[in-house]
Amino acid sequence: MSDPSLTPGKHFPADLTPPSRGEVLSLLAQYGYAGAGDVRLIDTSHDADDIRLNYIIGRRFVLRLVKAPDMTEQRLADLNRLIGRYRDFGLFCPAFLPDPKGRFFHARGPLSVYLAEYADFPLMYDLMQEKPPRIDSAALWQEVLDSVALFAERYRNVDLSGTMGMYSLFDLSPFDKEEGIDEKQQNFDRLIRALNDIGETSLAARLTQKHDAVRAALRAVYKSLPRCVFQGDENSSNVLVRPDGHLAGFIDFNLSGTEVIVNQFANLGGGFLEEVEEPVGAAVRLEHALADYRRYQGRMMTLYHATETEKTALGGYTWIALAAGWPQVCFFLDGLKNEKLKDEVLELLGMLADLPEEALIL
């Protein structure tokens, strides 16, 4: 009889039989390890074309069955070198484990199998849900930001990957190649279509003119800017926490890649009080975002020694993040459909169109 706790979710192909506990341990043995203890399944699949089954074995290993063509032997070898740099830096990140022949991937029918260490630390996101909270989330997030700046300072232009990170403009990440444009261009185009659809053609034109000018200035210099390979998705669901509440490390390197360093910095904050669903004023929302940027970027620039060209480019990258970042554009689009917020969002977008990127240079 199959173990119901090891039954995958709705996205698992109906014509495939999911592995039993015994088969999971047999797959583990192919890597040269004996399994003991509980086996539990965490299914993080997105759809039938993106299967992600994570079998936790005895709090020591994570055996993954995936349908992920972008994950290759070369990709995992690159990521293991990056993980090694993070560990040398003092942060724990679970490594991928090859078999005795040095191979990372095995096959199980149409699915690929690979093995990683288990990270026996709680996640920041889970600890933030506790009442009362056991951690100071603001202080912990500051440690995350500090780690990004210090990691960039130590490893700028070191062992760069041919895979671009998810924030990359111009040079496309694997997730953007099918569309042929970077994610922020996609987000911005969606916003402009929404404005045109409701008759705000003048505002759409002003934003487009500003956006195109900022992009042109960045395109002229971005190839000369220092780069670094980052974990690349530093959110609370990927942050490991030590028992004393401090940063332990990171998991999930799926979005990792080479990034222009100041572009990475530009994408780590700057919300418009999206959680506030009542009108508070466009100027209040903009100043909140700008104050957040000034605070955290100002500190990062004391830890990372940027060139003057980088400091100037940071202003442009920050404007792009404000106007075309995914959380920000979702807020704009939802606000345009909300009668209480529509006028405030339109005013905020007008303020962004008029905001000189020089105002974002520290």
The string of pLDDT tens digits covering residues 1-29 is 456 678 877 878 777 888 889 999 999 99
Alpha-carbon distance values, 108 to 28, 65, 246, 315 (Å): 12, 8, 39, 48
DSSP string, 56-125: EETTTEEEEEE--TT--HHHHHHHHHHHHHHHHHT-B-PPEE--TTS---EEETTEEEEEEE---S-BHH
Q: According to the model, what pLDDT value does residue 223 have? A: 96
pLDDT per position as a tens digit, 169-214 = 999 888 888 889 999 999 999 999 999 999 999 999 999 999 999 9
pTM of the model: 0.90
Number of Cβ within a 10 Å radius of residue 49: 10
Domains contained in the chain, CATH given: 4-117 (3.30.200.20), 124-360 (3.90.1200)
Q: According to the model, what pLDDT value does residue 304 have? A: 98
Distance CA 141, CA 138 (A): 5
Report which DSSP code applies to 306. -
Positions in the chain whose pLDDT score sits under 70: 1-4, 362
Tokens in use for 332? 């704009």
Q: According to the model, what pLDDT value does residue 316 have? A: 95
Cβ atoms of residues 88 and 80 within 8 Å: no
Handedness of CA 286, 292, 294, 300 (dihedral sign): negative
Strands 96-97 and 111-117: antiparallel
Helix or strand holding residue 247 (H, E): strand 247-250
Tokens in use for 143? 């440690």
Helix or strand holding residue 258 (H, E): strand 257-260
Helix or strand holding residue 240 (H, E): strand 239-241
Number of Cβ within a 10 Å radius of residue 178: 7
